[in-house]
Amino acid sequence: MNKISLSKPIAGCMRWGNWGAQFSTSEYRWLIEQLVDEGITSFDHADIYGNYTTEADFGTALRGKNSLRENIQIITKTGICMPASSNSYITKHYNNSAKHIIESVENSLRNFHTDYLDVLLIHRPSPLMHAEELANTMYQLMKEGKVKTFGVSNFEAHHIRVLQKHIPIAYNQIEISLLYPKAVFSGILETCTELHITPMAWAPLGGGKVTDDTHPRYRAITKAVEPIAAKHGCSMNDVLMAWLYKHPAGILPILGSVKPHRLKQAQKAADILLSDEEWFHLLEAARGEEIA
């Protein structure tokens, strides 16, 4: 499976629209241009963000800006169906059928005013997933040039093994942070390495709560992070990002800040090299117990 070059960090767009900042079109365009100027060129979306409105808001900002489109990578996700004013669903559910995926991709292409998606991810593993049907749908979309690269999100090792029998998977977007370090021990990162799948980390700062010292668990993390940040001459959030970068699986963080200076700052974290001891010290603080 061909991979494409993605920026570090990837900009997460979940909070740009109705689920957060409620940016206007000019604010969207300003933020995209600011980030691209700094080399942050990859943007993470999902069809459902903003109750199915954020893709279109972002796309409106791109409209008529062909050179901007060519300089960015659009990642989006499909497969979750959520009740919203634009549909008649009554229950949140998953749908990874050929019909749903194709309709969803066509809709995303219209939303973004583009004829290709750089990366399409299946948002959640469904117990009702037919792996062969899904793989054939992806092959068709890639053959048509509508999707450049295919991946998954929130897949555990066993889900990956079933699908990988039918199609190579380029990315797996999962939750990993010091606040939620489960992936470090679950085996998923090793499976990704074995199968040449690049892991992406969603909520790499734990949704901004990791350095919130009002909670005892977060306070323990803050206490461990502070001296390490001082030693490396960086911010506490840089340490959290550097903790992800140190993992040999080659994790790509998706940062959900809507503030360009925070995303620019996060680029610097890729150059911070934590020692093995620092890495485990942070893990111990996060888990509240020493490793065996």
Q: Is 31 helix (H, G, I), strand (E, B) or coil?
A: helix
22 Cβ partners below 8 Å, 6+ apart? none
Which residue lies nearer to ligand NAP by CB, 228 or 254?
254
Other beta carbons within 10 angstroms of residue 36's beta carbon come to 17
Residue bearing tokens 């503030």:
259
What is d(CA 117, CA 122) in angstroms, rounded to the nearest whole number? 13
What is d(CA 6, CA 59) in angstroms, rounded to the nearest whole number? 19
Smallest separation (angstroms) from ligand NAP to the CB of 25: 19
Contact 152, 171 (CB under 8 A): yes
Which residue lies nearer to ligand NAP by CB, 155 or 274?
155
Which residue lies nearer to ligand NAP by CB, 17 or 146?
17
Smallest separation (angstroms) from ligand NAP to the CB of 224: 17
Smallest separation (angstroms) from ligand NAP to the CB of 157: 17
Smallest separation (angstroms) from ligand NAP to the CB of 135: 20
What is d(CA 79, CA 279) in angstroms, rounded to the nearest whole number? 35
Which residue lies nearer to ligand NAP by CB, 94 or 279?
94
49 in active site: yes
CA-wise closest residue to 285 among 179, 174, 206: 179
Contact 223, 13 (CB under 8 A): no
Smallest separation (angstroms) from ligand NAP to the CB of 292: 28
Ordered DSSP codes for 172-230: EEEE-SSSSTTHHHHSHHHHHHHTTPEEEEESTTGGGTTT-TTSHHHHHHHHHHHHHHH
Which residue lies nearer to ligand NAP by CB, 79 or 141?
79
Using CB under 6 A as the criterion, which residues of the chain lie in contact with ligand NAP when the complex forms? 12-15, 44, 153-154, 173, 202-208, 237, 254-259, 262
Choosing from 28, 49, 171, 180, the catalytic residue is: 49
Contact 40, 9 (CB under 8 A): yes
Which residue lies nearer to ligand NAP by CB, 78 or 191?
78
Q: How far is CA 154 from CA 161, 222, 288, in A?
A: 14, 27, 25
Smallest separation (angstroms) from ligand NAP to the CB of 16: 8
Q: Which residues are catalytic?
A: 49
